[in-house]
Amino acid sequence: MDLKLEGKVALVTGSSKGIGEGVAKGLAREGAIVIIHGRNKAKTEDVAHDIVAQGGHAYAVVGDLTHDDEVQRLVADAQAFVRPVDILVNNAGGSGETEDWATTRLETWAAGYDRNVLAAVRVTARLLPGMRAAKWGRVVNISSLAGLMPSSKRPDYAAAKAAMIAMTASLAKAVAADGITANTVSPGTIHSVSLDEAFRKVALNHGIAVDAPWTEIEQTVLPMFAQVPVGRVGTLEEIADAIAFLVSPRASYITGTNLRLDGGMWPGC
């Protein structure tokens, strides 16, 4: 299926590693011009260079999304590379220290909300006028299964990710008449570099070699982390493919949704 993304300009925040990197590379494979964002200049440029080396089109912008002036600068840079941004994937964010209700601090909640929700708002607000003028645009906010199935730990993170789901539903209604869609994607357990390292450390403690095949690591360790009905973790390619469809012209009637990529964990697991 041709997703008709050739030449579309996509800004993926937090794409110097992990899920964001996977999404950016997936969009580039579909022909989109991708703008890589991160806080570390070298890592951000490395991802952009890798995409170009594979025959894609990519640029790099650097900045901390918790600072208004840096967001203003990096958005201006992104808009100046080729033409205005058509697609925004708000992936930057993440959790902080592991806290529970006995140890949680107000500053942790504030920082988590700023890093996830307000960071997405800062970038989105600056790009919406251009999308409205063009009568076309796509916004995808990356939430988390934690926003739907919160545990007793990291309540600040779960609350911030739940806020992103509500925020997206509101945005979708506000911009639908302008030809813009807004959707949320909530990943479950995904095979990133950091997850691979974490699983291998646990496996080592259970007598499995740290360099054992991933399938052996996965089968042993995954049940300790989550009960996933399909019996495996998700891949970066699966997230990238789902988002590529959501931001494509072919998904113009899908807006205000929360797509769960969790291997069947919701509900009942």
- Domain presence at residue 158: yes
Q: How many domains does the chain have?
A: 2
Write out the chain in H/E/C secondary structure: CCCCCCCCEEEECCCCCHHHHHHHHHHHHCCCEEEEEECCHHHHHHHHHHHHHCCCEEEEEECCCCCHHHHHHHHHHHHHHCCCCCEEEECCCCCCCCCECCCCCHHHHHHHHHHHHHHHHHHHHHHHHHHHHHCCEEEEEECCHHHCCCCCECHHHHHHHHHHHHHHHHHHHHHHHHCEEEEEEEECCECCHHHHHHHHHHHHHCCCCCCCCHHHHHHHHHHHHCCCCCCCCECHHHHHHHHHHHCCHHHCCCCCCEEEECCCCCCCC
Lowest model confidence (mean pLDDT) among 5-9, 92-96, 184-188, 256-260: 92-96
124 and 145 co-located in one domain: yes
Residues 217-227, mean pLDDT to the nearest whole number: 92
What is the token pair recorded at 204? 């080592």
115 and 212 co-located in one domain: no
Residue given tokens 């006028």 in the structure block: 129
Question: What are the tens digits of pLDDT across the range 68-109?
Answer: 999 999 999 999 999 999 999 999 998 877 888 999 999 999
- Domain presence at residue 268: no
- Domain presence at residue 226: yes
CATH code where residue 155 lies: 3.40.50.720
The per-residue pLDDT for 1 is 82
96 and 196 co-located in one domain: no
50 and 66 co-located in one domain: yes
Give CB contacts under 8 A, 24+ apart, made by 161-167.
Answer: 161/116, 161/186, 163/113, 163/116, 163/117, 164/90, 164/116, 164/117, 164/120, 165/141, 165/258, 167/117, 167/120, 167/121, 167/141
Catalytic residues: 157
Split at pLDDT 50, 70, 90, the class of 266 is low
Question: What are the tens digits of pLDDT across the range 10-68?
Answer: 999 999 999 999 999 999 999 999 999 999 999 999 999 999 999 999 999 999 999 99
Split at pLDDT 50, 70, 90, the class of 267 is low
- Domain presence at residue 92: yes
124 and 207 co-located in one domain: no
207 and 243 co-located in one domain: no
186 and 219 co-located in one domain: no
Domain containing 180: what range? 9-190+235-261
72 and 199 co-located in one domain: no
Closest CA relative to residue 125, chosen from 54, 165, 175, 191: 175
- Domain presence at residue 1: no
- Domain presence at residue 267: no
Q: Which residues pair with 187 in a beta bridge?
A: 261
- Domain presence at residue 57: yes
The per-residue pLDDT for 96 is 77
- Domain presence at residue 269: no
Q: Is the entire prediction scored with pTM above 0.85? A: yes
Question: What are the tens digits of pLDDT across the range 123-160?
Answer: 999 999 999 999 999 999 999 988 998 888 889 999 99
219 and 146 co-located in one domain: no
91 and 142 co-located in one domain: yes
pLDDT at 237 over 70: yes
142 and 249 co-located in one domain: yes
71 and 100 co-located in one domain: yes
Distance CA(97)–CA(254), nearest Å, equals 35
